[in-house]
A and B are shown apart, each in its own frame.
Chain A
Amino acid sequence: MQVSDEELYRQMKNGNQDAFAALYERREPGLYRFALHMSGSPSIAEEVSHEVFVQLMGPAARFDETRGSLESFLYGIARNLVRGVRRQGPVAEPVDSAFEPDILGEIIGNETTAALHRALRELPDRYRDVIVLCDLEERSYEDVAKIIGRPVGTVRSRLHRARALLAAKLKRLTAPSEVFTA
């Protein structure tokens, strides 16, 4: 039976190096993907997924089991870190776009889908958060509510609004081909 994240965290807090390594191996890839979807930058994603664990092992990390899962807690840290990086703003982004390959663009073969992913990154933070967490990371409304610190109803309404924005974008993306085929 797999040891829970929370149990690994308890062992880690008692100085168990193996527990920390196990937690890192288990959760870091997902956090990387989350940060990649949020930022579009592999280097930011790598830094963020690493920094989450730096914070977790530091004295300032205050995980409270009664308030949610450790996984949600880690996603919450990652979300805040990505937002922090984005707030630092226009200095970092051109560098990313100039020197980093569009890794997602290369992986996502379909042009429309890749364009949709770029559109996702242009959404306001509050909408992008919920699309990435609910629809790409497949987390429940309850989990997402804990991660972003908002009620479940807010998560749901933001998701619906975000999807409406993306659906409109998708319609524009597919419109030219429709004109051709008509």
Chain B
Amino acid sequence: MTCKEAVVEVVECARRRDNRADRGIHTEPGRDLRAHLAICGACSERWEAERQLTAHLGTIRQQTAALHLASPASRREALVRDFARMQPSLPGRPARMRYGGWALAAAAGLVFAIALGRQAGLSGRESAIRTGQAVRMEPAVLYESNSLSSDASALSSDDFVAIPYTPPLAPGEMVRIVRGDLYPEALAGMGVEIDLLAWSKAANVPVEMIVGEDGIPRAVRITESNSY
């Protein structure tokens, strides 16, 4: 047995000892490994180190096993409420509230898109917009809808695609339009409809992103070229 083979066996054997300890089964090194450990100081030292490491990792696992056995009920209930809200035919919620919320969010999105388009046209590589002044995004609309998808829709326009699961912009928060390149797969992951096969031979896709003050992109669109 070579040292390379022995080290592989040492690691696996040490891990098996830990995994089987609870069931009272102890896996000792095989005959070949034992013979190698008897003559090789380095591998013998590694065996001892692996055994100690396994013991410490086992301690961490056992001592943290009882952590957070259940999430706080309030969080769970809030999440389940959000889930219920996302269901289209949930009983007990007036339809006009749902459609009203969407209409308001769409209207806010339209105003936002127009404002962004004007600002982008006036600026060069990067522009800054104070949402509370230039865009007139109604925070009440976002909070009333109280769902991620409606926040996202407020940022959507014909060009920009809202990136799902990003936090909503605060009233008055500055946003920037940042140009850059993204992998096609990353864009697809953001929900942008993109022909991955067509883009597969291109290195990156030129994009513009609306980025909040926290540096998190909220919406993205593909641009014509990457000449910036």
Contacts and interface: CB of A to CB of B under 8 A. Distances in A.
Given A33-B64, A170-B52, A55 B80 contact: no
A113 B56 contact: yes
Nearest to A18: B80
A160 B80 contact: no
A136 B52 contact: no
- Residue picked from B53, B56, B71, B87, most chain A C-beta under 10 Å: B56
Contacts of B71: 24, 28-29, 32, 46, 49-50
Interface in A85-139: 88, 103-104, 107-110, 112-113, 116-117, 131, 134-136, 138
Contact of A170 (B56, B61, B64, B89): B56
A174 B48 CA distance: 13
A79 interface: no
B69 A163 contact: no
B60 A136 contact: yes
B60 A24 contact: no
B215 interface: yes
Interface in B63-101: 63-65, 67-71, 75-76, 79-80, 82-84, 86-87, 89-90
Contacts of B27: none
Given A32-B68, A55-B165, A160 B8 contact: yes
A107 B64 contact: yes
Given A15-B87, A17-B80, A107 B67 contact: yes
Majority SS at the chain A contact face: helix
Contact of B89 (A15, A20, A57, A174): A15
A29 B68 contact: yes
Interface residues of A, number: 50
26 contacts: A24-B71, A24-B80, A25-B70, A29-B70, A29-B71, A37-B60, A46-B75, A50-B75, A54-B82, A54-B148, A54-B165, A55-B165, A58-B86, A60-B164, A88-B216, A103-B67, A107-B67, A109-B63, A116-B53, A116-B57, A134-B15, A135-B57, A136-B57, A160-B7, A163-B50, A170-B53
Interface string A1-45: 000000000001001010011001100110011001100000001
A171 interface: yes
Interface of A: 12, 15, 17, 20-21, 24-25, 28-29, 32-33, 36-37, 45-46, 49-51, 53-55, 57-60, 88, 103-104, 107-110, 112-113, 116-117, 131, 134-136, 138, 159-160, 163, 166-168, 170-171, 174
Contacts of B52: 167, 170, 174
Interface residues of B, number: 43
A117 B53 contact: no
Contact of B64 (A17, A37, A55, A168): A37
Interface in B15-58: 15, 18-19, 46, 49-50, 52-54, 56-57
Given A51-B165, A116-B57, A136-B61, 6 more contacts: A12-B83, A50-B71, A54-B148, A116-B60, A159-B11, A167-B49
Contacts of A17: 80, 83-84, 87
Contact of A58 (B57, B65, B164): B164
Contacts of A60: 164-165, 191
Contacts of A55: 165
A88 to B, nearest CB: 7
Contacts of A103: 67
A112 to B, nearest CB: 7
A116 B59 CA distance: 11
Contacts of B60: 37, 104, 108, 113, 116-117, 136
B149 interface: yes
Contact of A33 (B19, B68, B86): B68
